[in-house]
Chain A
Amino acid sequence: MLTALKKQHALIWAFANRDFATRYRASVLGWAWSLVQPLATLVIFAAVFSIVFRVQAPPMGNEKTSYAAYLFTGMVTWNLFSSLVTLSMTQLKSNGELLKKVHFPAYAPVLGASIVQLIQVALELVVLIGMFLVLGNVGFTWFIAIPILIGTALFAQGIGLILSIMNARFGDVMYIVGVVLGALYFLTPVLYPMSLVETHSSALAWVVKLNPMSWYVEAMHDAMYTLTTVSVLEVLALLVGGFLVFWAGFSIFNRFSEDIGEML
């Protein structure tokens, strides 16, 4: 797999370049727009959940509490996952005309699109870091966030690759995925702290704990928000787990994308 990726890196970059160049070319404010949507969501959710529902965030590393910062930490991680999944899913279809006519590795446009999406995630991360700097919540545990986010990206990309090939074959996959992602969002401790679910329903808490995205989001909360160290074993598990999902997704993708020219 790695040799294949290395061999095709120029092509993957070419697609990334295309998506980068075209993504915001038509709009004046360009990349600024890409931050408007997550920040607007943040403001609305923070207002609704902290004021109306009175959700209490756990204390930060500096003993203070900020629901908005807690929420945004989870959102950045979740957005990384869900945007890679949904973006990857539609790539084969949107590059269909090309795939039907020229023979080239079909994962190239999928991975290229994801690379550009990572820039968006990085921008969100910069805003998050800025937010913590203002709040005075800084710690060395931040570095742990790097392997966790890499693990999240690999995990998301693996699933995205599988879904993209399924979506090329079956027209209704994207609708099902839309519903499942919506449900999964609420089964991940993004809007609420884990402790809140545990006090209300242990059955529901189990469901949330079984959701892999909870693992990544909770690890990010530890590293960025509460500034507690995450065990090496856990970080390794998240990273290797993400890699294994990516490897599986890549293999399945290649196995089924050989007839992509006919499938679309």
Chain B
Amino acid sequence: MSDYAVEISNVGKRFMRSSERRNSIKERIVRGQGKRAEEFWAVKDVSLNVPKGSVYGLIGHNGSGKSTLLKMIGGIYRPTEGTITSQGRIASLIELGAGFHPEMTGRENIGLNGSILGLPRKEIAEVTDEIIDFSGLREFIDDPVKHYSSGMYVRLGFAVAVHMKPDVLLVDEVLAVGDEEFQRKCFDHLYSLRKAGKTIIVVSHGLGQLEALCDEVAWLERGTLQEIGEPTDVVASYLKRVNAEESLKNPLAEAKRDAADHEGGLQSNLRLKSVQLTSTDGTALNHAETGTTFTIKIGMHLDDTVLGPNVRIALQHESGPLVTMVGNHRLGFDFSYVAAGDHVVEMDLLNNPLLPGRYRVHVDVFDHTGAKLLDSWNDAAEFPVRSASGEMGQGFVQLQAEYRLK
């Protein structure tokens, strides 16, 4: 006996583009086999071993081949090349309640679904009560499932699947079902299955969930394996790639202002010219990351020497509220005499406390007394904040704090 619940070696899955599939006999005869259909490899040369009793996560973009791989493990697809060996009963949470018949009662469907998932009749009878309790549908269990709400349907489906005593449980993006309470129940159950030494393979976009749940994570991209390892490491490099790709797609967070844009009526010898987001090493950014220091650079032109200007930056959340306003005076930075000419004020926002979201930047400059507005630039720039861990958080900022229990 091997220590692995599932062994996948050099597995590939080829699909024919559906537009080229000959679905009628006429097409088959008329076009024959002559022209080869366009091939598409959904999974290519993937090898990985899932240790017994582990929780294994699969991550990747949509269309990266995660679900295809899961379907091959579940035996729904056959690999075009390579082999998959697995030990024990595999139950799949790929589609909850797929086997339910609307005219049959909840109880009857438990029996049918159990048989389809391969549990002997006697064992089904043993777990039926447990399933009913878990689903919380005792009241409705003898009604036809066509009268169930979609939530009830899914709850019963989940309850059935996890009670089939699987040795390997395949979970595909189904953790986002039911209400808060049921979701928690599902997670608790997954944890208890894990404790009982069952193997769980999860496909999810909830990276935070995966980091908490998994022992090991594999990252797939366009059907090929990118990285296998510790969840935090793999998730981090996955997000790094995602963010990098997004950087290529999104415009940089920077803005320039013409002289004509200046608000009329301001009599001053200072003009704000540009705003730019950069990393601490100076590369231009299109987004900031929660927890990572970044720099806001403000370019300005002075016609004359100015004494101790106070450059204030206001950050406004996309939903409206002003999150914070920072100025060099309040933080104790005095620029003293600034000579005429072009200058750039650099502000490092240490360990960026902003939580993911979009933020707008407003800039204004006052003189050293704080009484006279030298220039003001509303909506100078806008930038998104992303999180490396995938956590979204609540509110706008993440405060640095320490806890003690006394």
| A interface list, Cβ under 8 A from B | 10-11, 13-15, 17-18, 21-22, 25-26, 97-98, 100-104, 169-173, 176, 258-259, 261-262
A169 contacts which chain B residues (CB < 8 A)?
23
Task: Knowing A98-B98, A101-B98, A171-B24, say if A21 contacts B104 (CB, 8 Å).
Answer: yes
| Any A CB within 8 A of the CB of B74 | yes
Tell me whether B196 is interfacial, beta carbon within 8 Å: no
Query: Range of interface residues on chain B?
Result: 20 to 34
Q: CA separation between A41 and B120, bound complex, in Å?
A: 43
Judge whether B77 is part of the interface by a CB distance below 8 angstroms. Answer: yes
Closest CB in chain B relative to A253 CB, distance in Å? 16
Contact across chains for B111 and A14 when beta carbons are under 8 A apart:
yes
B241 at interface (Cβ–Cβ under 8 A)? no
A21 near B78 with CB under 8 A, answer no
> Given A102-B116, A103-B75, A171-B24, A10–B103 Cβ distance below 8 Å?
no
Instruction: Judge whether B103 and A102 touch: CB under 8 Å.
Output: no
What is the 8 Å Cβ interface bit string for chain B, positions 367-385, against chain A (1 contact, 0 not)? 0000000000000000000
Query: B residues within 8 A CB of A11?
Result: 115-116, 118
CA distance A71 to B380 in the complex (A): 91
9 examples of A-B residue contacts, CB within 8 angstroms: A14-B112, A15-B115, A18-B108, A102-B76, A102-B92, A170-B25, A171-B24, A172-B25, A262-B77
Per-residue 0/1 for B21-35: is the Cβ within 8 Å of any A Cβ (1 yes, 0 no)? Answer: 001111010000000
Residues of B within 8 A of A258 (CB): 78
Q: How many whole Å from A144's CB to the nearest CB in chain B?
A: 36
Tell me if B360 counts as interface (CB < 8 A to partner A): no
| In the bound complex, CA of A104 to CA of B98 (Å) | 13
| Contact between A25 and B76, CB atoms less than 8 A apart | no
Inter-subunit contact B103/A259 (CB<8 Å): no
List B contacts of A173 (CB < 8 A): 25
User: A21: which B residues are within 8 A, CB to CB?
Assistant: 103-104, 108
Cα distance, A104 to B92, chains bound together (Å): 12
Contact B28 A10 (CB under 8 A): no
Given contacts A14-B111, A26-B103, A259-B78, contact A104 B116 (CB under 8 A): yes
Asked if B121 CB lies within 8 Å of chain A CBs, one says yes
**Contact present for B103 and A101 (CB under 8 Å):** no
Q: Which residues of chain A are within 8 angstroms of B189 by Cβ–Cβ distance?
A: none
Q: Within the assembled complex, what's the spacing in Å between the Cα atoms of A262 and B28? A: 18
Question: B residues within 8 A CB of A25?
Answer: 103
Identity of the chain B residue whose Cβ is nearest the Cβ of A95 in the assembled complex = B99
Q: How far apart are the CA atoms of A173 and B25 in the complex, in Å?
A: 8
Determine whether the beta carbon of A100 is less than 8 Å from that of B76: yes
Give CA–CA (A44, B256) in the complex, Å: 89
Nearest-Cβ distance from residue B310 to partner chain A, whole angstroms: 64
Chain B residues lying within 8 Å of A170, measured Cβ to Cβ, are 23-25, 28
4 nearest CB pairs, A to B: A14-B115, A103-B75, A261-B76, A101-B95
Q: Given that A10-B120, A172-B25 are contacting pairs, would A101 and B115 also be in contact in the complex, using a CB cutoff of 8 Å?
A: no
Interface string of B118-143 (1 = CB under 8 A from A): 10110000000000000000000000
Cβ-defined contact, A101 with B112, below 8 A: no
The yes or no answer to B222 lying at the interface (CB within 8 A) is no
User: A261-B76, A261-B77 given as contacts; is B101 within 8 A of A18 (CB)?
Assistant: yes
User: Is B354 an interface residue, CB under 8 A from the partner?
Assistant: no
Q: CB distance A103 to B74 under 8 Å?
A: yes
Alpha-carbon distance A143/B169, docked complex (angstroms): 52
Q: CB of B312 within 8 A of chain A? A: no
**How many Å from the CB of A239 to the closest CB on chain B?**
30
| Least CB distance, A235 to chain B, in whole angstroms | 36
B117 within 8 A of partner (CB)? yes
* Cα A103 to Cα B74 with chains together (Å): 7
Measured between alpha carbons, how far is A173 from B26 in the docked complex, in Å?
Answer: 11
Least Cβ–Cβ distance between B340 and chain A, in angstroms: 72
Q: Mark B47-89, 1 if CB is under 8 A from A, else 0.
A: 0000000000000000000000001001111100000000000
- Residue numbers in B under 8 Å from A102 (CB-CB): 74, 76, 92, 94-95, 98-99, 116-117
| In the complex, chain A residues whose CB is within 8 Å of the CB of B23 | 169-171
Partner of A262, one of B15, B26, B94, B118: B15
Among residues of A, the one whose C-beta sits closest to the C-beta of B13 is A262
> Which residues of the partner chain A approach B101 to less than 8 Å between Cβ atoms?
18, 22
- B231 CB, min distance to chain A CBs, angstroms: 27
Alpha-carbon separation in the docked complex, A6 to B90 (Å): 21
| A115 to B: closest C-beta gap in Å | 14
Return the chain A residue nearest B16 by Cβ.
A262
Roughly how many angstroms separate A98 CA and B115 CA in the complex, as a whole number? Answer: 13
Nearest opposing residue in chain A for B25, CB measure = A170
Q: What residue in chain A is nearest B24 (Cβ atoms)?
A: A172
What is the CB-to-nearest-CB distance from B361 to chain A, in angstroms, rounded to a whole number? 49
CA distance A157 to B92 in the complex (A): 31
Cβ–Cβ < 8 Å partners of B94 in chain A = 101-102
Q: Please tell me if the beta carbons of A10 and B98 are within 8 angstroms of each other in the complex.
A: no
Q: How far is the CB of B327 from chain A (nearest CB, A)?
A: 59
- In addition to A101-B98, A172-B25, 19 A-B residue pairs with Cβ atoms within 8 Å of each other are A11-B115, A13-B115, A17-B111, A21-B103, A21-B108, A25-B103, A26-B103, A98-B98, A98-B116, A101-B94, A102-B74, A102-B117, A103-B75, A103-B92, A104-B117, A169-B23, A170-B25, A171-B23, A171-B24
A21 CB to nearest B CB, Å: 6
Contacts of B28 in A (CB 8 A): 170
Q: Roughly how many angstroms separate A103 CA and B166 CA in the complex, as a whole number?
A: 14
User: How far is A15 from B90 in the complex, measured between Cα atoms in Å?
Assistant: 21
Docked CA distance A26–B104 (Å): 11
